[in-house]
Chains A and B, each alone.
Chain A
Amino acid sequence: MISSTPGEAEDSDLVRSAAEGDRAAQHALFDRHHGGVMGYCLLACNGDRERALELTQETFLRALCSLRELKDGDRFRSWLFSIAANLCRSSGAQDARRRELLAVAQLSLDTGPADDEPRERELRIAVVQRLLSRIEDPDVRAVVALKYGEPEHTTREIAARLGLPHGTVTSRLVRFRAAVKRALLRAILEEAC
């Protein structure tokens, strides 16, 4: 399981120690996330294991080398998957269906599209809009529209703008991401058909 349990160090603590050269912390980050990264790379490579393995290694290589540049250790996970997504995207052509599947996966992982990839950004907006059309709760819709709209807003900005407690904003986003995971499951099943 990926999520941390009581007593386990948070990613942000591990990131801080790892950036200072603590090998145990580096290893802990690797142990915690290699399964998810490999799983994502397998999804991106349509099950090509050798390629996924290379991309996983490259993802961690790049991430560990650049740890000092990561300002917010709490963002390590989504930052790590951003690296994986960018590497997967640049490593080979993906058909439209797989790109959409990956866009849903990235949204679910809270990983943004590369800034220099307008096509990816457009695809992500389209995915969000499609998901939003199926969400009936107007409170969730309002938060999501700000979070993933143009421009995107941080949760604190959304809280300020809507006059909501920050926790309310994040819980509504958790609900939305559950909907994204449901869409991801559906896309996976459709692809398997």
Chain B
Amino acid sequence: MLRPCEILSEGMLKAALRGQLPAEGRAALLRHLGEPCEACLDLLECWTTEEMLTELHASDDLLSWAERERVFPTASAGLASARPPLRVVPPETRRPPRLAWAAVASAAAVALFTLVTLGRPWHPVAKDVLKGTSTPAVTLFALAGSRSPTPHIVRALPAGGPLVPGELLLLRIRLDARAWIYLLSQKQGELSEVLWPLNATGPHEPGEFEVAESGTALAIDPQALGTDARLLLIASPKRIDARRLQIREPLRTRSEVERAFPGCGVDLLPVIVEPER
């Protein structure tokens, strides 16, 4: 049989967490908490920290039913399999970019948080372009994030859909085999440049992962980009020399990217920003 603490009862604990103790009761409890007490531990073994945290805040501060109904669908969107798949807009139907696209915002500067897995189909790629090696399959997923007041809303970009001005672009990659990964940006008349990873040290393991640096999701600010930019994703069985990644010729279709990087899995994502109203 446990011997209850003479100071810290369950009622006292709840009152303390709810801020309902009078000043002298709180002072007495604080004094007691400064000393060892095995009976206190017996009581607290029966409480979870989550229970303490929920007692700590008034029930009005916790999520209301309406907020739960709003938060859960947003939070679970990433696992929704019925979401329309993303696709790369083919050049003949691609809308001309109306706002700038651009290379990257620095990882630390525009750190965001969200990552969503989308039900985007795999793109078949040419196999065995290099003898003795198989071509890794790679897919780029695009998500839109908002940064105001703090980064908090994310939506999947619908098929070929544009970003709204002010939105940030977040990316996720699916890779089916170990490969060196290069995410490039390319815009009209300029050499393509590596956006990520900034310092590749080795091939990436297969799986699905976010485009992130030091554990922080990388967000691309389209306002900082030039016009008519595209994101190219290259998955190579072998390391690619940095100079080979600098391509001036515009690569507007997957087949053009595949020709530029034979033996590599590729994906292409032109992104469009809605005009400001």
Contact = CB atoms under 8 A, between A and B. Distances in A.
Interface of A: 1-3, 18-19, 21, 23, 26-27, 30-31, 33-36, 38-40, 42-43, 47, 49, 51-54, 56-58, 60-69, 86-87, 90-91, 105, 108-109, 114, 116, 134-136, 174-175, 177-179, 181-186, 188-190, 192-193
Q: Which residue of A30, A52, A61, A190 has the most chain B CB atoms within 10 A of its CB atom?
A: A61
A149 B41 CA distance: 22
B75 A39 contact: no
A189 B196 CA distance: 46
B56 interface: yes
Given A65-B78, A90-B216, A174 B63 contact: no
Interface in B44-85: 44-45, 47-54, 56-57, 61-63, 67-68, 71-72, 74-81
B271 to A, nearest CB: 20
B247 interface: no
A154 to B, nearest CB: 21
Please provide the 5 A-B residue pairs with the shortest distance between their CB atoms, ordered closest to farther.
A36-B50, A39-B53, A65-B78, A60-B75, A186-B33
Given A2-B48, A185-B16, A188-B16, 13 more contacts: A34-B68, A39-B53, A60-B72, A61-B154, A66-B115, A135-B36, A175-B45, A177-B45, A178-B40, A178-B44, A181-B44, A185-B33, A189-B33
Given A53-B63, A193-B26, A26 B34 contact: no
B13 interface: yes
Contacts of B78: 61, 64-65
A91 B30 contact: no
Given A18-B79, A108-B49, A51 B150 contact: yes
Given A60-B71, A116-B214, A185-B33, A105 B53 contact: yes
Contacts of A186: 30, 33-34
B143 to A, nearest CB: 10
A42 B37 CA distance: 29
A42 B59 CA distance: 12
B116 interface: yes
A30 B75 contact: yes
A189 B54 contact: no
Q: Which residue of B45, B50, B75 has the most chain A CB atoms within 10 A of its CB atom?
A: B50
B117 interface: yes
A114 B115 CA distance: 19
Contacts of A62: 113-115
A61 B13 contact: no
Nearest to B64: A53
Contacts of B52: 108, 181, 184-185
A189 B71 contact: no
